[in-house]
Structure formats: C-alpha cells, structure tokens
Amino acid sequence: MTRSRVAVVALKTIHTAIFMGELVSILWLVVSGLIGRRDRTVAAAATAVTVEAAVFLANDRVCPLTPLTERFGAADGQVSDIFLPDAVARTIPIWSSLLVGVGLLLHGRAWLTTCRAR
C-alpha cells in the first residue's frame, strides 16, 4: 500500500470516528430531551455539536478533512473522506440538522415545563 493510500485510509478512519462521536452527541440530545434530562453530559453533547457545526459552517459547509483527504489522492467529491454508504454520507447535513432541531425542541419543551411548574 502506498503512503498516500495509507494517509487516505487514516484520514477516513479519523473522520469516521469523529462523525460517530458527533452522531452519539446528537442522539444524546434527542434522548435526553425526551426524558427531560439536563446535566453535564447534555452540556458536553451540545458543546460538541455546536463546535462541529461552527467548523463546518466556517469552512463553507465543507468538512476541513475533505480537501486534505483529496490532496492525498481520495476521489474528488463530498463523500470521499468518510467510511459511510454514499446515500448516507451525502445527506448527513440534512438529517443531522433535523435531529439537532428535534433535540433542541425537546429540551425547550422540558425547560418550559419546568418553568411552568415553579
């Protein structure tokens, strides 16, 4: 295996691991919103999602690892830098944003319920 191929595989592995961590954070925001839990784990998940979104948006809606992976020889394109099925990878911004919105709505509902109970 060539050096550039090793670099591509390493970057794809790193990106996939980061994505899985972000997905867990997003899902935790939804689940914790459903059960009304607000603690440090929710704050950590919200911070991780916020930082990831800020980096993505600041980079013109392209993950910074994409051009780096392509420089090492990965195929050009939106999903060249992650180990996910093409249909899933291409729609990540759509469904992940939807899940974040659901999580925020659920936490907002829980917060309003707590405020009204006081």
What is the predicted pLDDT for the residue at 49?
98
What total number of domains does the chain contain? Answer: 1
Lowest pLDDT segment from 15-19, 54-58, 85-89, 100-104:
85-89
What digits encode the pLDDT tens for the residues 29-40? 999 999 999 999
pTM of the model: 0.88
CB 80 within 8 A of CB 15: no
Domain that holds residue 73: 3-117
Average pLDDT of the chain to the nearest whole number = 91
Does residue 78 register a pLDDT over 60?
no
Does residue 94 register a pLDDT over 90?
yes
Structure tokens at 54: 């800020």
